[in-house]
Structures are given as structure tokens and as C-alpha cells.
Amino acid sequence: MPRRALPAAAVALVVALLAPGSALGAAGDLDPTFSGDGKQQLHDATKSLILASIELQPDGSVLAAGAQGPFPPVPGDEVDALVLGLNSAGEVDPAFGSGGRLVVPAGARRQIQLLDIAPGPDGRAIVVGNTVDNGAAAPDDDAESYVARVLADPDNCPLIPDSDQADLDGDGIGDVCDDDIDGDGLSNAVEAAIGSNLRATDSDGDGKADGADACPTLAGTTANGCPAAVVPSGGGGGGGQPTAVDRTPAKLGFTIASKLKRATFLKKGFSFKLASDEPVRVEAQLIGTLKGARVARAGDVTIAEKNLPLGGGNRPIAFKLGKKQKRLIGKTAKLTVRVTATDAAGNRTVASRAVRVK
Ligand SMILES: [Ca+2]
Ligand SMILES: [Ca+2]
Ligand SMILES: [Ca+2]
Ligand SMILES: [Ca+2]
């Protein structure tokens, strides 16, 4: 769209599209339901706001694209890209950009002028225009094309397409990028590992949320969310009645960052949370294959240990390093977290995760 001569006043003017008004409104009147009197003018004390193109959103809100800067610009002025957001009532939409404006700075001696805006996929809008670098020497001081894409609507997961914006737990993080979709305190990965439902806060329906349930997949009436223990029939004599014996080791769920910052690791140690599908006793070890370790023997060294009594839920395990252990950590270290979990019947589960300290 060719630029026309515009008044030099620092004003942007958007006139409402005609809409069916009251019985007294005639076609061609300004629409009084748009910003009170049919028009919306924005004033900026220091800059001109020039609009060139408009796009009506499905919900009646409006995006307008143009430029912000001195008017008329002369070579050497900075002119920035401008997208203005108005709600369906014609008022500046404070949820859009900063105070209703998205301004993309062009930088010193550069100019961006948006000339058109069009709807894009998944709540986006696409703007097109040109950019000029007046600071560049010829022949690079000519106009270049400029195309950008803007979030027209809030997006609860900007990097992954999710047009339905589903958010099961209502925490503002869309399901497709929420690592705890149901918000019960157990991450999706942990729930998948222990077999609980990652889309329900109380998988076994016993009234205890998965993150606080020592048996998240077994309905229970006891305080920790587990069924009353099966008491083996006593007596070593023959003829004892058969009892249900637990021969199934616990399923463990825990995630650990694969990389740790050395300085933070030395200062604060390192912690993670461990969940299981039944109560377990825990022995956790932090084992190092250390570079530059001043130890006589070669091989792995236990740097820290942590034991937890029989229990369940999503329990934190924190490793702290003593002075001597800190000295073992070189500039980089390869560590392994090894968790040995033993359930009430003595079945054992061992799981390991690698961690790099840099
Ligand atoms: Ca969510
Ligand atoms: Ca969860
Ligand atoms: Ca769950
Ligand atoms: Ca339970």
C-alpha cells in the first residue's frame, strides 16, 4: 500500500467499522459503541504514531500496524515498527504488548515501517513492511523487506502449536508444555514411571492427591493413602493358610537435570524428588567418576549419601558435600545418582541417572 501524505500531528486515528447501532444511528454515522464516540485517538508526547493497515480479529478486537517515530522521518531518524491492539469496544487492550502497543525497535539510524497486517495460524498475525539502515554505506542503505509474526492472542505454549489452548489444571501453562499437566505435584514423567494417571490428580480415587499419596495407584484408607497392610499369618508350623505375598518391587519416578553448574553444586549441593508407587526405604548415593580427583585408587567414589526410612509420597532427597568431597570435584565431573529402594516386603528396585557437573 503506497504511503500517502499524512498530517504531521502525533496522532493515530482508527475509525470504527460501521455496525448496526441504535434506532437513531444512520448509516455513515460514527459508531458510539466504539471507544465512546466512534473513534480512538492515541497521543504520544514525543513520537508520531502512523498506522497503515488494520486487521479485525475473530473476537472483534483490532490490530493495527504501522510505525512509531519522528514524522516525517528523515534519513538518520530511528523509526520503530508499531502494532497497536484495541479490544472489541475500541479501547486500548492493556493485555496486548506493553500498554496496548508492540514496538519493535529498529535501532539507531534505522527505520522499520509496517505496511500491512494479515491473520496467521494459531492466534498469530503476520506483518509486512520494509526496513532501511541509514547508517550503512551505499549500496546497503536501501530498503529491505521486513516480515514478522506476532502473537495476536495470549499463547499458553508459544513454542508448540496448540490451537485449543487446553490447560487441564488452569495454571496458565498449556497442557502441551506443562510438565505436570494435572498439577498434582508429580511430573508427567514421574507419573508415567510409577504408573499413575498424569491427567487425574487422584489416580486411585482414595481422596489423596497423587503427589501426597504413598500408594498413588492403590486406593487406601490409611493415613498415607495405602491399603491396610496384609499381615502374614503367624506361626512357623505347617499348614499355615496361604497369604498374599508381595513379590513386586516398587516403581520409582524421579527426574534429575542432566547438567549442573559447578559453582552452584559446590555451594548448595543438589536435590531432587523421589516418588514411588508404594512405600519404600531409600538409600541414595551420589557417585563420581572424577577428573583430577586426588585419590589414591582409581575408579568411582561415593561423594554423598542419603537414606530415607520406609515412607511414600513425593519425597525430597538432598545431597550436601563436605569439605573433603568438594576438593574431589575437578573442573568437570561425571556423576551418577543411584537410588536403591526397598519395599516393605524386601523387594528391591535400583535406578540410576547420570549428571554432569561443569
Ligand atoms: Ca497447565
Ligand atoms: Ca501430575
Ligand atoms: Ca496424577
Ligand atoms: Ca492411594
CA pair distance 56, 128, nearest whole angstrom? 16
Q: Starting from the CA of residue 178, give the closest ligand.
A: 1
Ligand 2 centroid, distance to 309 Cα (angstroms): 24
What is the 254 CA–ligand 2 centroid distance (Å)?
A: 12
Task: Compute the distance from residue 243 Cα to the ligand 4 centre, in Å.
Answer: 22
- Provide CATH code, domain 252-357: 2.60.40.2550
pLDDT tens digits, one per residue of 239-260: 445 557 888 999 999 999 889 9
Nearest ligand to the CA of 202 is 3
Q: Which alpha helices (DSSP H) does the chain contain, by range?
A: 188-194, 262-268, 323-328
pLDDT tens for each residue of 146-198: 999 999 988 899 899 888 889 999 999 999 999 999 999 999 999 999 999 99
Given a cut of 50, whether residue 3 has pLDDT beyond it is no
**172 alpha carbon to ligand 3 midpoint, in Å?**
18
Q: How long a stretch of residues is the chain?
A: 358
Neighbours of 187 (CB within 10 A): 21
The alpha carbon of 178 and the centre of ligand 1 are apart by a number of angstroms equal to 5
pLDDT in tens, 284-318: 999 987 655 454 455 678 889 999 999 999 999 99
177 Cα–ligand 1 center, Å: 8
Please, where in the chain does CATH 2.60.40.2550 lie?
A: 252-357
Provide the whole-model pTM. 0.66
Q: From ligand 1's centre to the CA of 170, what distance in Å?
A: 5
Dihedral sign for Cα atoms in the order 108, 112, 113, 119: negative
Question: What's the CA-to-centroid distance between 317 and ligand 3, angstroms?
Answer: 21
**In contact, 288 and 329? CB cutoff 8 Å:** yes
In the reported structure, the alpha carbon of residue 241 is separated from the centroid of ligand 4 by a whole-number distance in angstroms of 27
Q: How far is the CA of 179 from the centre of ligand 1 (A)?
A: 8
pLDDT of 82 reads 98
Largest CA distance in the chain: 105
346 Cα: distance to centroid of ligand 4 (angstroms):
20
Q: How far is the CA of 194 from the centre of ligand 1 (A)?
A: 21
30-36 mean pLDDT: 94
